[in-house]
Chain A
Amino acid sequence: MSEKLMDVSVVLNGKKIIASVAPDMSLLSFVRDRGCKSVKCACETTNCGLCTVWLDGRAVLSCAVPMMRANGHEVTTLEGLQAESADFARCMAEEGAEQCGFCSPGLIMNVLAMEREIRDRAVAQGVEPAMPSDEDMDSYLAGNLCRCTGYTSQRRAIRRYMASRFAAAGEASAAAGKGE
């Protein structure tokens, strides 16, 4: 009640939003208030990964980002990645790996972030992006808890998706090479 509202400006899923917020408002509350209901809260202690969003393209826990710190940055939620996430969502559905589905959006955000990071790093190093090992994928995604699946079906879906992505990327560049 004591706080003075403060002005913020963010780009949320491609749309610029200007708002006045309490200085301690979290990014999680902000995006949910603006209709991004895919972003869930399940622990309050930064352990579960369900509130994962992208801040300037990096996966972060939105519960732990003060809105004032997000000021001036670009925020992406699953609502803004519907087309980009469709292939992975299909892999999940075909394995039944979503189960209750409550943790799925956070996982999808981090899987897509992992894919993107692998690609960006490969570009930076001037090499072909490679399919990560099972251990590397588990390690990258360790912050996404799920209580329904025991993770095994998720691994099947993630492996299948990543294999399709990176095989496709390799073929695409090979095809591009042929074209030249």
Chain B
Amino acid sequence: MLRFGRFVRAANVADALEVLKFRKGAQVLGGGMWMRLSDRTVPCVIDLSDCGLDKIEETDDEFRIGAYVTLRQLECDAALNVATGNVLNAAVRDIVGVQFRQLATVGGSVFGRFGFSDVICALLALDAEVELAEAGRVPLTQFVDMPYELDILTHIVIRKHDYRASYRCVRKAATDFATINACAAYWDGDWHVSVGARPAKARLLIGADLGLAPTAPAPAELASAVEAVRSLKYSSNLWGSERYRRHLAGVLAARAIVDAARYDSPEALEAARAVCAGEEAIA
């Protein structure tokens, strides 16, 4: 079981950072959902409950999501979800259960940089940054590859755009970890497709990598996007084999792109859907 040597409820982020830096082995507690599964002693855990990080703030340019905002808040925040193509809701709503999501935090999910993370997969396709107490704002794409440093993640920032986005995943059982998750978002004139649970960390591909230019990709472009997604690295674990994941990543990416795209004519949509249907292994 997980043990705590000391439990510090920090009054503010500066105090928390101080403890983190100077107390050996100190760690910030997010929702604690993942940390509690380990069998070790954390000499000192730092709780940020009193630091006011449990709010989603909206300005003209961005949504600023406190690290202690729960997955349930993320799921239910109407303004945020309307503005982002509902992908955050779609990403988290099947995670375990409501009682879990009222405890798990966005900060914990992002800071952990877990390969299976639905939250990271969804955020990665958006224009997102993390705000660290010391290092300041860092693009999420950069943060996911950073080593675990002694810093405190205080906020996730999503910049506003005219997002068209869609999130897809396959779970072997309804509230299980995703076997593959994928999020497609079109914003700022470009496509962003993230694929996670490979099972390694989510990867983001953008327009040029994908061979996708226009808002409504034509069949050939879709096919090249599927190809690009499948060229990522995949491997096997309990939730799926490498072969299945590779196949699935292409399927989900294609479905997400077609769902997010705006096709002018029913014929164009039909043609795009035909590409998805082309991925069907069952005749």
Q: A98-115 interface mask toward B, CB cutoff 8 Å, 1 = contact, 0 = none? A: 000000000000100110
Partner of A61, one of B3, B41, B49, B99: B99
B98 in contact with A46 (CB, 8 Å): no
CB-defined interface of B1-35 with A at 8 Å, one 1/0 digit per residue? 11111110100000000000000000001011100
Q: Determine, out of B89-97, B125-133, B206-214, B251-259, the stretch whose residues face the partner at the interface.
A: B89-97
A46-B2 Cα distance, complex, nearest whole Å: 14
In the complex, chain A residues 113-158 whose Cβ is within 8 Å of any chain B Cβ? 113-114, 139-144
A178 on interface, CB distance cutoff 8 Å: no
Whether A60 and B97, one on each chain, are in contact in the complex, defined by CB atoms closer than 8 angstroms, is no
B244 within 8 A of partner (CB): no
Contact with A59, one of B4, B93, B102, B174 (Cβ below 8 angstroms): B102
A60 adjacent to B33 (CB under 8 Å): no
Closest A residue, CB atoms, query B37: A45
B161 in the interface, Cβ–Cβ < 8 Å? no
Interface size on B, residues (CB 8 A): 29
B47-86 vs A, CB cutoff 8 Å, 1 = contact: the mask equals 1010000000000000000000000000000000000000
Smallest CB gap from B175: residue in A: A142
Residues of B within 8 A of A47 (CB): 96
Chain B positions within 8 Å of A, measured between CB atoms, are 1-7, 9, 29, 31-33, 36-37, 41, 45, 47, 49, 93-94, 96-100, 102-103, 174-175
Known: A46-B33, A64-B36, A65-B103. A4 touches B6 (CB 8 A): yes
Q: Are A60 and B96 in contact (CB under 8 A)?
A: no
Residues of A within 8 A of B94 (CB): 142
- Docked-complex contact A142 and B97, CB < 8 angstroms: yes
Could you tell me the distance in whole angstroms from the C-beta of B25 to the nearest C-beta in chain A?
12
- Please give the residue numbers on chain A whose beta carbons come within 8 Å of chain B beta carbons, in ascending order: 2-4, 6, 23-24, 45-47, 49, 52, 58-61, 63-66, 68-69, 71, 110, 113-114, 139-144
Give 25 CB contacts A-B under 8 Å: A3-B3, A3-B6, A4-B6, A23-B4, A23-B5, A23-B6, A24-B1, A24-B3, A24-B4, A46-B100, A49-B99, A61-B99, A64-B31, A64-B32, A65-B103, A66-B4, A68-B9, A68-B47, A69-B49, A110-B97, A110-B98, A114-B98, A141-B98, A142-B98, A142-B175
Question: A68 contacts B7, CB within 8 Å?
Answer: yes
**Choice from A6, A59, A71 contacting B98 with Cβ under 8 Å:** A59
When the two chains form their complex, are residues A66 and B32 in contact, meaning their CB atoms are under 8 A apart? yes
Q: Is the CB of A46 within 8 A of B96?
A: yes
* Complex contacts, B6 vs chain A, CB 8 Å: 3-4, 23
Contact status B99-A6, CB under 8 Å: no
A24-B7 in contact (CB<8A): yes
> B97: which of A23, A58, A144 is its contact (CB, 8 Å)?
A144
- Interface centre among B37, B102, B103, by most chain A C-beta atoms within 10 angstroms, is B103
Q: Are B99 and A143 in contact, CB atoms less than 8 angstroms apart?
A: yes
Measured between C-beta atoms, what is the minimum distance from A178 to chain B in Å? 33
Q: What's the least CB distance linking B69 to chain A, in Å? A: 14
Report the bound CA distance from A58 to B70 in whole Å.
Answer: 12
A142 to chain B, nearest CB (A): 5
Complex alpha-carbon distance, A47 and B96, angstroms: 6
Closest 7 CB pairs of A and B: A143-B97, A23-B7, A24-B4, A68-B7, A23-B4, A59-B99, A61-B99
Given A2-B5, A143-B98, list of 8 further CB < 8 A pairs? A3-B3, A3-B6, A46-B33, A66-B29, A68-B7, A69-B9, A69-B47, A110-B99
Shortest Cβ distance from A53 into B: residue: B99
